[in-house]
Every structure is written in structure tokens, then in C-alpha cells.
Amino acid sequence: MENKFGKIVTLEEAMEHINDGCRIMIAGFGGHGSPYDICEAIIQKNVKDMTLISIDAGDPDLGPDHIVGNRQVKKLITSHIGATKAAGELLNAGELEVEFCSQGTLAERIRAGGVGLGGILTDVGIGTMIEYDKPKITIDGVEYLLETPLRAEIAVIEADTADEYGNLVYKGTDEGLNPLMARAADLTIVGVKHIVPFGELDPQDVGTPGCFVDMIVQERGEWTWPWA
């Protein structure tokens, strides 16, 4: 591959940008859409004290699960942790701070961070512990919570195919929050199964434009699901 835009990098080169104390988004949900090679590299590098933004805490033995279980995360912003036993144990032991919000709210907070909004208004959480210490705004007699936008220093996402510029094509439900996270980070690293020359992708198939992608890593493609 010619790499005319200089975005295709090795896993080792990408990992130079993921360091202790970083605020990081990792895409994926239900075993799909997570860049497992990069997640494994984060574990091997033993990056510590991260703030992790993820739709969940990962699935057993895949993706963010081991990162959380390896005590590399100090704070987790997520919608649920039910599939990750270690996350619940660390939370109960006071070793992990967890900020919960609904999946829709989480997605909208990330979208707001990517497009420069100051926050979103939602009635989800009104009358529950979720509203604690959050600003409220009343519009036409309806009370809303003001949820703040989410951004990160690093977004680690996954796609099926990228061209040299970083235009991305997703496969089915793997898309998830990948496009939103790509827009909401200072540096976006994508793990992909296939890399093709610039101009080969049909623009109608592109789910994330290359202007939002900084680094492209070729995945090994050797991962298998734990239930397979």
C-alpha cells in the first residue's frame, strides 16, 4: 500500500499516543465494533489511570473487559457494566469510579462533543438518582436535565475497510458509536480488516469521512468470539 497520506501506521506507532492518565473512547458493543488488537496492545503496555468512555465495560475476554479488569481504568463513563464481573467488583470495592447514563444519552453526549454543542437536554433520569447534582432547565413547563458533552484525547474505533485517507466502511451493526467517537476526539485511531487505495471506495458506503481519522492500523483478524 502506497500510504500517500501517511495515515497507515503500525500498532506500535499508534500505541505511542496512548499513555497513562489519558481520556480515551473505545468503540464497540455486544462483542462487535471494538478494535481488539489495539485493546490488547493497551493491556500489554499496561497504560494506567485512564478515563474510559465506552457504551459498556466490554464482554468477557474481549475488548475493554480486560482493560477494566486489569485495573488500568480509574473512571468509567458508560451505560452498563453487567457483562463484566470485574467492573462490578472494582466499583463495589471503591477502586473504580463509574458514571452511568442511558445508552441514548451517552450517544448524544458524544455527538455533542463532536459537533461543538454545549450539552443536550433530556428528561431521561428525571426523578431518579441520575439527576443528582445536574443542572435542570424548564422549557414550556417540562423539566429537563442538562447533560454535558463528552470528548476524549484519543478515540479507538474499528471498521471493516479503510482507504489510505481514512474513509471508513462499517459492516452491519459493527458501526455502533464508531462514527460519533471518531468526531469527538483529538486523535482518532482505527483498526481495520482491509485497507484499499484512495478512490476505490464508493462514497455512498462511507460511514466516517477520512478527515476524522488520524491513524489506520491493520488488524490481524485472528480474533474469535468466546461463545464460538
Record the cell numbers describing residue 46, joined without a space.
499496561
Does residue 62 lie within any of the structural domains? yes
Is residue 82 included in any domain, yes or no? Answer: yes
Write the pLDDT tens digit of every residue in 180-196.
999 999 999 999 999 99
pLDDT value at 227 more than 50: no
Q: Decide if pLDDT at 1 tops 70.
A: no
What would you report as the CA-atom Rg of the chain, rounded to the nearest whole angstrom? 18
> What percent of the chain is predicted at pLDDT more than 70?
93
Residue 159 belongs to a domain: yes
The confidence score (pLDDT) of residue 33 equals 85
Do the domain assignments include residue 193? yes
Query: What tens digit of pLDDT does each residue of 59-100 get?
Result: 666 667 789 888 999 999 999 887 778 888 888 899 999 999
Position 95 in a domain: yes
**Mean local confidence (pLDDT), 27-47:** 89
- Confidence band, pLDDT 50/70/90 cuts, at residue 103: very high
Over residues 119-136, the mean pLDDT reads 92
Q: Determine, yes or no, domain membership for 124.
A: no
Name the domain count of the chain.
Answer: 1
pTM comes to 0.92
Residue 11, C-alpha cell as written in the block:
500498532
* C-alpha closest to that of 105 among 53, 142, 37, 69: 53
Q: In this predicted model, what pLDDT tens digit does every residue of 134-147 receive, in sequence order? A: 999 999 999 999 99
Residue reference for cell 490481524:
220
Domain that holds residue 209: 8-116+149-215
Write the CB contacts of 66 (distance below 8 Å, at least 6 apart in sequence). 39, 40, 43, 58
Residue 136 located in a structural domain: no
Write b or e for each residue in 34-45: b if 16 or more Cβ atoms lie within 10 A of its Cβ, otherwise e. bbbbbbbbbeee
Q: Determine, yes or no, domain membership for 3.
A: no
As a whole number, mean pLDDT of residues 49-63 equals 82
What CATH number does residue 163 fall under?
Answer: 3.40.1080.10
Q: Where is average pLDDT lowest: 8-12, 27-31, 44-48, 127-131?
A: 27-31
